[in-house]
Chains A and B, each alone.
Chain A
Amino acid sequence: MSGTHRLQSGGLIDRGKPLSFSFDCESHAGFAGDTLASALVANGVKLVGRSFKYHRPRGIFTAGSEEPNALVELRGGVRREPNTRATVTELYDGLIAASQNRWPSLRHDIGAVNDRLSRFLVAGFYYKTFMWPAKFWELLYEPLIRRAAGLGRAAGAEDPDIYEKAFAHCDVLVIGAGPAGLMATLAAGRTGARVILADEDFRLGGRLLAERCEIGGRPAVDWVAEIEAELAAMPDVRIMRRTAVTGVYDHGQYSAIERVNDHVATPPEHEPRQRSWKIVAKRAVLAAGAHERAIAFGNNDRPGVMLAGAARTYVNRFAAAPGRRLAVFTNNDDGPRTAADAREAGIEVAAVIDSRTGARVTRVRGRHGVRLIDVADADGRTSTIECDALAVSGGWNPAVHLTCHLGGKPVWNDEIAAFVPGALPPGMTVAGAAAGALTLARCLGGGMTAGVTAAAACGFAIAAITQPRADDEGAAVTAMWHVKDSRGKAFVDLQNDVTTKDVALATQEGFGSVEHLKRYTTLGMATDQGKTANVLGLAILAQASARAIPQVGTTTYRPPYVPVSFGAMAGHHRGRDFRPTRLPPSHAWATEQGAVFVEAGAWLRAQYYPRAGEADWLKTVNREVAATRAHVGVCDVSTLGKIEIEGANAGVFLDRVYANTFSTLPVGKARYGLMLREDGFVMDDGTASRLAPERFFMTTTTAQAVRVMQHLEFCHQVLWPALDVQMVSVSEQWAQFSIAGPRSRDVLAKLVDADLGDAAFPHLGCREVTACGVAARLFRLSFSGELAYELAVPARHGDATIRAIMAAGAEFGITPYGTEALGVMRIEKGHVAGNEINGQLTARDLGLGRMMSTKKDFVGRVMAQRPALLDPERPALVGFKPVDGARRLRAGAHFLKIGAGATAENDEGYMTSVAYSPMVKSWIGLGVLRRGPERIGERVRAYDPVRNGDVEVEVTSPIFVDPEGARLHG
């Protein structure tokens, strides 16, 4: 036997497959087909959790994803998942769940004292109470509130499971597999359209699984099975069970979350736990049904009080009795139906309290479960009824959520006393209960029409389909929100513990706008987004402020419709796969050398190459710099952006995108180029070489490679489409190595077949060569200030080439160097890089004003002439050395006149780059200083409060090494 409250027969559970599970360490039994909630109901477990704020005992309230109460910690260890809704958790063998927000136990919870203090813990309590004294905030209030906040405990360890993202496309997306959704899918599917049917349940049918009803003279579940079989046989219909559509986005995009393996303890190997879908649909039919809502009355939150529709679900679908003696409180025709279903299942019905007769429930008694209810009739006569469960129906709210994600506002419908969809997202239609058609025949008809129309809109010819016979059950409702003569707290929002008093207080204190009400009371702000609470709350607000409900309006509905785990949002992109990693051609070789790597954008670059005995990175970098300047060094510079620019107007194009001139560059020569943004600030720098009269090769910085390519495409496609110019990125095609140092020519002479003499191949030369038998390109470019070359080979030869360079250079003492040494050498030479090209500095600021041609127009020319940018007071680039040579400099330090106070008004600029220079034998820095170039020799303070730095520095030329440039020529 499985459970004290399991009905002997009926239900859509598999009595041949018993399952065992535990809740709060107590073992229970259930069946395949159960949810955790239905199994708890079947075992007579009424108390399942404690509420968020008052720690009130709570039971299962719904049978679906809208559940506010039955939130549990599911599974254990690293797979523990807090706030899991028991109502949508499929039961599996060995399932472990625990209640939340209670200590030491669910039955005896210390936090329940909050319920006694509730007089003080009203809406706005935190805003009002923790205002003063202000100094208490950090030490006392915040830690206190933090401890009290939150529900459940995260696993606190890395999730061992796999999550995925995936894309799906269809003509028609049908959301919801109840009677309307199934008919829509069938109607669209028969036309041959590609249809996706998504439903959050593990079984198709929606309310048909929970109601005793007939379609075509047969039990509705038989009809569902028949439709399901027909749909399964259609090759272009895809049925997605356990898949909740969570959001609607522009251009027919829908997000959905598929709980692929939440119904097993551990997903099978290589299978994801959850999959996050992006579905692109030409049309969508929303058939998401409706949510039943509660009525506010005294202690309406006690375990054993549940929505009437949920009670029918437990009885009819799961053969689980919510109680032995059930009372029903209703304002609509669902009440009598609930009583009839209960009686049919052998459950005693204590009373049907129908507010349409003037009767009402004023109070529930029984702290851990319903024992008695106090009832008043139209004449004010009161009585007490004994029962252990109370089914409540306050009417049904169409699930309009997805219709509102693109800004649509629902509209009030008096007939069903609920909001129905207003303006719809493009391509969406709504059918069935979601459209306010709450009865079966209307659902079937509406779904069929919506399916046919949607398929036709995608160009599919209508196929034969007839609407099956079914009746429209009674659905009359007379709105009843709040039992005014209640005794005890009357809850509106169960998950966030918002009562009718809180709503009244908010109104009284001026928070009469529904959006203010929401924020002030937290109504609807829990993970259930107030699906059972919001309309009730705003109806009470309307009453309290003497307005009509449509005047009050609704709050904004936002995605996601149901909670989505972070794992599903990340999918494959976690850890190393957070984003793509780009590896330069020498990566394998550098790894063998024991290089330390650094992330430079997406690239993983060798930062330095430590040798045995070098405990400190600085020692390594100093050695690499010294060896390069004394002998020769090699560095992989393949990460630079590389663009080939071709065409009759290629030179003109470069003249317009660079501040300096390129059309005059001879073939076989390279030139340093400076690129400005339209606003006149420096965007990037690099080189361009002329390979042929109409072909250039441009390099950009590593960081700006993509941006420069986009900029060039924009300039060509939008600004100057008439130019004959073609451009393509070749960043991936070429491996490029910088070989620098006085012996670089000797190394290259062993590798390439060309005359490298100064006359044949001068500084800034470029030519095609054969290197190690491969067609290569050689550039004489120097970032380090040394005699230097860049050798480019097709990327597949990159690995062999770095090894060949190292072998050829061995006799000259060649040393590989990384990005750190590269940085040190460029700072020693006063070359600007990303730290200086920071989007806030102009060419003038960087001492490159003379590069801005006055003979041609170029991007940024006009805006760079703005008076503020020409102000001689603007900080400009200079070098810095500590007066005390032993002191370390820090980038980011601000400059102050000696003796000036550390205030923003006295700020004279800032340090952009620093390095320890083994040549200067002290720290050196580059930075921008007000009128800097005029102040060489002066001393200023480099003030860095963040790192307690306050160093007196001397202003110097930005070029620390070889200012004459003699070393460039070897």
Chain B
Amino acid sequence: MAAASVIARRGKADACAAAITAHYGVTLPTGPRRAASGDVVFAGVGPWRWIATAEGADAAEFVAQLRERLVFVAAVTDQSDARLVVRLRGPRVRDVLAKGVPVDLHPRAFKAGDVATTLVAHIGVQIDMLDDGPTYLIAAPRSMAGSFWSWLTASAAEFGYDVSRS
């Protein structure tokens, strides 16, 4: 998965949003939400700050193109190698996540398309809710992948889990 951080330049948030709408056909979210256009997703992770991802895309190409399209309106930085990304799905997934995620993930509080940047077991993560499956996407720093995995498997063990590669 290709990934890049996108930070709007000062006073250029609207221009940045317009450029993204023009090129990707999505409305850039203004809060902690994700907006998808095919395989390209923009997730709001802070004020005037997004993580853009593209499933299956070549990292260097995706980032170079994004940078070109947002030149002078946003700082685009390659983060494709910075993250371990896992997709979690299943009826007990919220019970697993409750063992480390301090954010309220109840369906009333956190809906499909919502995004949170938070800490799990002292590890900074980005959590996206994809659908009401429920399915969640969690991105953790690459260097802490082992510790994150240790927490995840320990937390899921009580309910049982399967691992597959996407």
Residues of A participating in the B interface, judged by any CB pair closer than 8 Å: 162, 164-169, 194, 270-272, 278, 280, 572-573, 576-577, 579-584, 602-603, 644, 646-648, 695, 722-728, 730-734, 775, 794-797
Contact = CB atoms under 8 A, between A and B. Distances in A.
A194 B155 contact: no
A584 B145 CA distance: 11
8 closest pairs, A vs B, by CB?
A732-B82, A726-B75, A646-B75, A580-B147, A169-B104, A726-B7, A724-B10, A582-B143
Interface of B: 5, 7-11, 59-60, 74-75, 77-83, 98-104, 106, 108-109, 121-123, 141-148, 150-151, 154-155, 157-158
Given A167-B101, A580-B123, A733-B79, A647 B10 contact: yes
Contact of A166 (B10, B78, B99): B99
Contacts of A169: 104, 106, 109
Contacts of A603: 143
6 contacts: A572-B154, A577-B121, A583-B143, A730-B79, A732-B141, A733-B81
B106 A794 contact: no
A599 to B, nearest CB: 13
B50 to A, nearest CB: 11
A389 B121 CA distance: 52
Contacts of A723: 10
Given A164-B155, A577-B151, A728 B77 contact: yes
B83 to A, nearest CB: 7
A581 B146 contact: yes
A280 B9 contact: no
B148 A580 contact: yes
Given A167-B101, A167-B102, A167-B103, 11 more contacts: A162-B154, A169-B109, A572-B121, A580-B121, A580-B144, A582-B141, A730-B77, A730-B78, A731-B143, A732-B79, A775-B60
Contacts of B102: 167, 278
Contacts of A646: 7, 75, 77
Contact of B147 (A577, A584, A728, A733): A577
Contacts of B147: 577, 580-582
Nearest to A798: B81
A189 to B, nearest CB: 15
B144 A582 contact: yes
A794 B81 contact: yes
Nearest to B109: A169
Given A194-B108, A775-B60, A794-B59, A728 B10 contact: no
Contacts of B9: 647-648, 724, 726
A194 B108 CA distance: 10
A572 B155 contact: yes
Contacts of B99: 164-167, 572
B76 to A, nearest CB: 9
Contacts of A166: 98-99
Given A644-B75, A733-B78, A573 B104 contact: no
B159 to A, nearest CB: 8
Nearest to A775: B60
Nearest to A194: B106
Nearest to A579: B122
Nearest to A797: B81
B77 A580 contact: no
Contacts of A572: 99-100, 121, 151, 154-155
A177 B101 CA distance: 27
A354 to B, nearest CB: 52
Nearest to A576: B150
A266 B108 CA distance: 37
Nearest to B59: A794
Contact of B122 (A580, A584, A775): A580
A796 B141 CA distance: 12
Contacts of A795: 81-82, 142
A728 B7 contact: yes
Contacts of A722: 10
A173 to B, nearest CB: 13
Contacts of B82: 730-733, 795
A732 B108 CA distance: 34
Contacts of B157: 270
Contacts of A726: 7-9, 74-75
Contacts of B104: 169, 280
Contacts of B142: 732, 795
B43 to A, nearest CB: 14
Contacts of B155: 164, 572
Contacts of A727: 7
Contacts of B154: 162, 572, 577
B81 A734 contact: yes
B62 to A, nearest CB: 13
B2 to A, nearest CB: 11
Contacts of A167: 98-103
A878 to B, nearest CB: 37
Contacts of B75: 644, 646-647, 695, 726, 728
B44 to A, nearest CB: 15
Contacts of A579: 122
Contact of A271 (B8, B74, B103, B158): B158
A644 B4 CA distance: 12
Contacts of A733: 77-82
Contacts of A602: 144
Nearest to A162: B154
Contact of A573 (B74, B103, B121): B121
B143 A584 contact: yes
A439 B98 CA distance: 38
Contacts of B123: 580
B144 A581 contact: yes
A618 to B, nearest CB: 30
B143 A644 contact: no
A150 B23 CA distance: 71
A167 B148 CA distance: 17
Pick the most buried of A164, A577, A580: most chain B CB atoms within 10 A of its CB.
A580
A775 to B, nearest CB: 5
Nearest to A164: B99
Contact of A270 (B145, B151, B158): B158
A734 B75 CA distance: 18
Nearest to A275: B99
A647 B71 CA distance: 11
Nearest to B108: A194
A732 B81 contact: yes
Contacts of A775: 60
Contacts of A280: 104
Contacts of A577: 121, 147, 150-151, 154
A167 B7 CA distance: 31
A1 B103 CA distance: 52
Contacts of B143: 582-584, 603, 731-732
Contacts of A730: 77-79, 82
A159 to B, nearest CB: 15
Contacts of A647: 9-10, 75
A291 to B, nearest CB: 32
B67 to A, nearest CB: 10
A722 B98 CA distance: 40
A647 B75 CA distance: 7
B153 to A, nearest CB: 10
A294 B100 CA distance: 43
A709 to B, nearest CB: 11
Pick the most buried of A272, A733, A794: most chain B CB atoms within 10 A of its CB.
A733
A140 B144 CA distance: 50
Nearest to A644: B77
Pick the most buried of A280, A577, A728: most chain B CB atoms within 10 A of its CB.
A728
Contacts of A165: 99-100
A796 to B, nearest CB: 5
B80 A794 contact: yes
Contacts of A168: 98
A733 B84 CA distance: 11
A561 B33 CA distance: 40
